Amino acid sequence: MIPVVALVGRPNVGKSTLFNRLTRTRDALVADFPGLTRDRKYGRAELEEHEFIVIDTGGIDGTEEGVETKMAEQSLAAIEEADVVLFLVDGRAGLTVSDEAIAKHLRSREKPTFLVVNKIDGIDADSACAEFWKLGVDAMYQVAAAHNRGVTALMERALAPFADSLKDDDEEEGLIDLSSVEDIEKADLTEEDAEAAYKRLQEQPIKLAIIGRPNVGKSTLTNRILGEERVVVYDMPGTTRDSIYIPMERDGQEYVLIDTAGVRRRKNMNQAVEKFSVIQTLKAVEDANVVLLIIDARENISDQDLSLLGFVLNSGRSLVLAVNKWDGLDNEVKERVKSELDRRLGFIDFARIHFISALHGTGVGHLYDSVIEAYQSATKRISTSLLTRIMQMAQDDHQPPMVRGRRVKLKYAHAGGYNPPIIVIHGNQVNELPASYKRYLMNYYRRSLEMMGTPIRIQFQNSE
């Protein structure tokens, strides 16, 4: 499971600065759910080989009778959700009463906590840090978030306990991950055996996460799927993990439904649905092979929808979109919804869109086809010769530009991973290729390979 890191500290110590620093490895994406999480921000970060979720708790002022009451609701929730807490203080401002109040509170939790003294640029860090030992911490880390000093070292330490478990997870997933695919490639199998190995890979159960903001119809859809005659639901393992995993089979295809709506956690239908949890949703995305993102046809596409979508795109998961509550809308409204989708989501060219009614079941049966298609695209084997041939055709149709008087030349391409598919292109000066040409290659590959439902990533490697 992807680790969750919470940033805690009084206002102005540099939490947002660190948050932006950590999440912008890829565009900073923030799931900000007003009303549900107040000003807690969620982002996805990648650093070296680590992937993690960061929560910025906004300002906590530990002094207003806060720590026990107000801070409680806000930051406590974030602290509870987190696997690691980074407690930020300001090395320039020195120790404050708020810091002490927060420290006291944190000591009462049993979370691994790292004291982070920020803004140590241009000051005598060691003497500035000395007074913070009073907070009773085991270790402190000196950083200057604004200048990216000490950040990598801090995160290496904070995330070290999770590095091993990540590796184990990868191994468990078997053939899907990069090293296993390489194993197949390296194993020197006959073409037939390799084909069979990849076929087995495609026959694994599809982990499907149904996500969407509150009230879009996740529970209704989950119940509809599980209640369907053609669906066989297996006994679920008595797991109390964050999301519940429901193994099921339909038309010979096995799935594991990741139930973020908490449908299966209710003892009976009358019990209230559990509160929507951003973290649970984000973890479900990370753990899924295919994400089914539900949008409500009766609401405008909101920033929350876009944040969730951005998160899915960043994670590289396969994606199917379902516009729900399509029942009983008149044509004018339907047209309006469609043009809004075009306008705001038109940039996602790889995901199929379904218009469904979870309530009445209309269109639900067709979702499976797109889910299977997305999964197969994401795990399909693509040979080096095919990837190179397509690359060559793209290059013949439209030459790469000149850089410093020399034409960029693409030489060959091979697969670098699956789920999402990664295509590695070797050539000279390829790092100099403009974004427009990279996009051209991406679209060329997508068209030629007819890959729907999955993003494709292209990496470039200079071979000079």
Query: Where does this chain bind ligand GDP (CB under 6 A)?
Result: 9, 11-17, 59, 118-119, 121, 144-147, 212, 214-220, 261, 324-325, 327, 357-359
Q: Smallest distance from the beta carbon of 279 to ligand GDP, in angstroms?
A: 16
Which lies closer to ligand GDP via its Cβ, residue 256 or residue 295? 295
Which lies closer to ligand GDP via its Cβ, residue 176 or residue 322? 322
Q: Smallest distance from the beta carbon of 143 to ligand GDP, in angstroms?
A: 7
Which lies closer to ligand GDP via its Cβ, residue 215 or residue 376? 215
Is 218 known to sit in a ligand binding site?
A: yes
Is 21 known to sit in a ligand binding site?
A: no
Is 169 known to sit in a ligand binding site?
A: no
* CA-angle at 449, arms to 421 and 338, nearest 5°: 90
Is 325 known to sit in a ligand binding site?
A: yes
Is 15 known to sit in a ligand binding site?
A: yes
Which lies closer to ligand GDP via its Cβ, residue 357 or residue 395? 357
Is 259 known to sit in a ligand binding site?
A: yes
Which lies closer to ligand GDP via its Cβ, residue 17 or residue 395? 17
Which lies closer to ligand GDP via its Cβ, residue 159 or residue 297? 297
Q: How far apart are CA 81 and CA 351, in angstroms?
A: 31
Q: Smallest distance from the beta carbon of 164 to ligand GDP, in angstroms?
A: 31
Which lies closer to ligand GDP via its Cβ, residue 105 or residue 414? 105
Q: How far apart are CA 418 and CA 456, in angstroms?
A: 9
The closest alpha carbon to 337, from 322, 352, 347, belongs to 322
Q: Smallest distance from the beta carbon of 275 to ligand GDP, in angstroms?
A: 10
Is 27 known to sit in a ligand binding site?
A: no
Q: How far apart are CA 145 and CA 116, in angstroms?
A: 10
Q: Smallest distance from the beta carbon of 325 to ligand GDP, in angstroms?
A: 4
Q: Smallest distance from the beta carbon of 165 to ligand GDP, in angstroms?
A: 30
Is 104 known to sit in a ligand binding site?
A: no
Q: Smallest distance from the beta carbon of 107 to ligand GDP, in angstroms?
A: 21
Q: How far apart are CA 310 and CA 131, in angstroms?
A: 42
Residue numbers belonging to the annotated binding site for GTP: 9-16, 56-60, 118-121, 212-219, 259-263, 324-327
Residue numbers belonging to the annotated binding site: 9-16, 56-60, 118-121, 212-219, 259-263, 324-327
